[in-house]
Amino acid sequence: MRAVSAMKSNDFQSLLQNFFLKWMMGQKKVSPSTVQTYKDTFRILIKYMYDEHGVKPGSINMEVINADIIIGFTHYLENNRKNKYKTVNNRLAAIKSFMEYVSYEYPEYSGTAQKIKSIPFRKIEKKEICYLTKEEMDSLLNSCETENSEGRRDYLMLLILYNSGMRVSEMISIQGKDALFSDNGKCHLRIMGKGRKERNIPLWRTTSDCLADFMYEYGIQEDDYLLSGRNVKHLTRSGVRYRIDRIVKKSTAICPSLNNKTVTPHVFRHSTAMSLLQSGIDISTIAIWLGHESIETTHKYMVADIKLKERALNKLHEPESNETDYRYQATDDILQFLNSL
């Protein structure tokens, strides 16, 4: 632990740099998407400090960071930036994580850190999980135009998402060397998940064959990304969403129930989990399959399945009875550092 000492005015910048480089990326090895979320949070916080409190980026120190400032920041996110509760909570979680690091490095700020970490998250009304039925999934696959290269890529993309239940960030990072084929032709995909935790996912024979044909057709080598985009080395998250939106739009003509669902890439993950659960797979195995750190994260699928059964029960006849823009373009080192990550 760092020796207790008086914090200088510029130590906020060095703390923030060490938080990202040594703690987040070095020790915890968080995903690039988490780094991006945290980086954006501190960019917005720095803007807020200047716009609302007149504190320039280079003048920010731990003396001006307190619970009242952070509470005001959450209101700013909600009212000025029109952020949803989920986004506000993500920003607050990033700041709480930083303050935990600060209290470790500078114990004299433990009191301030504890007050900030005690700020409650916004309560979010939990929505019923959206997932695809087998008929809806078949409709999406049949809507892929497999006579052309993009259609064959889309078909494989949907198969992988549904078969594996992986996150879209995990899928777009898959390289040729992550496809592990056995002598019988079946394949396991090696996935690097949250916290740089590796797991292997077995694929159906159909998915394995489709993957092998795709890799052969396009000459995918070990260091090549599996799913490339137009003029980019691999598909982006937004690119995957765009392709799925197109496929869903085409599928609604033959499968009208899709009109009532917002099909995002993450819906395929929900669909995999529900399919496993309804097939009798125990929840702890599903948690391992999905790469969940806690079985509590997976419990929501069991709750969703109960609701499905309740809806089915309600269809039965009961027996009869008697019953913004930036105003300030900062060029300070701290913003340059965040931009460089």
pLDDT, tens digit, 9 for 90 and up, residues 98-109: 999 999 988 999
Residue recorded with tokens 């200047």 = 50
**181 and 208 Cβ atoms separated by less than 8 Å:** yes
Determine which one of 91, 167, 243, 270 is catalytic. 167
Q: Any catalytic annotation for residue 292?
A: yes
How do residues 122-156 score in pLDDT, each as one tens digit?
998 877 788 999 999 999 999 999 999 999 999 99
pTM: 0.64
CA distance 201 to 216: 21
36: pLDDT strictly greater than 60 = yes
Can 131 be counted among the known catalytic residues?
A: no
Known active-site residue 234: no
pLDDT for position 185: 86
Collapsed DSSP state (helix, strand, coil) of residue 166: coil
Which entry of 22, 53, 197, 266 is annotated as an active-site residue? 266
* Active-site annotation holder among 38, 48, 162, 301: 301
- Give the active site residue among 122, 194, 199, 300: 194
pLDDT tens per residue, range 251-263: 999 999 999 999 9
pLDDT for the residue numbered 161: 96
266 is catalytic: yes
Q: Would you call 190 a catalytic residue per the annotation?
A: no
User: Is 327 in the active site?
Assistant: no
CATH of range 134-314; options 3.90.1580.10, 1.10.10.10, 1.10.443.10, 2.60.40.1080: 1.10.443.10
Give the DSSP H/E element, type plus range, for residue 191: strand 187-192
What is the side-by-side strand order in the sheet with 179-181? 179-181, 187-192, 198-202
Predicted pLDDT at 340:
58
Domain boundaries, the chain: 11-125, 134-314
